[in-house]
A = this chain, B = another copy of it.
Amino acid sequence: MEQRISLVTLGVTDLARARSFYESLGWEGQTVQDTVFHQAGGLAFVLWAREKLARDCGLEDTRQSGFGGIALAHNVRSPREVDELLATAESAGATLTRPAATTFYGGYAGAFVDPDGHAWEIAHNPGFTLAADGSLTLPDFDSL
């Protein structure tokens, strides 16, 4: 297995609402057969009906709310961008779940859940390099 993720698919209960939420944050996607595909760097970020996604995974969808056991993060280049993006997300219908604050690693971050309860952290982490194209490179932690 090569060390990479090809797609991240969020199960959503209202595709139009989910698409609109991410559009409000600046994402542009293509809708194909009730699925919204967004190019996100070297992977695809996808919105699809939650029950279809569960079935496609061979799983039963027994839960409609609460922490799903996974979090996505979007890193930005300054603390100010953290505040701006959290405000944009809240205006677009997100629920802020952790107010922006300084973090133990010397960064600044806050968190929200999208209208379907999917968790996002918005972070400025000066230890993680963000390239011009937005790709993130981890440090060699041993060298820190």
Contact = CB atoms under 8 A, between A and B. Distances in A.
A69 B72 CA distance: 13
A40 B1 CA distance: 11
A51 to B, nearest CB: 10
Interface in A98-126: 98, 111, 113, 116-119, 121, 123
- Kindly state the interface size class of chain A when it binds its partner: 35 or more
B1 A25 contact: yes
A78 interface: no
Interface in A51-76: 53-54, 56-63, 66-75
Nearest to A45: B5
A51 B70 CA distance: 11
A144 B53 CA distance: 23
A14 to B, nearest CB: 13
Contacts of A62: 66-67
Given A60-B67, A111-B58, A5 B3 contact: no
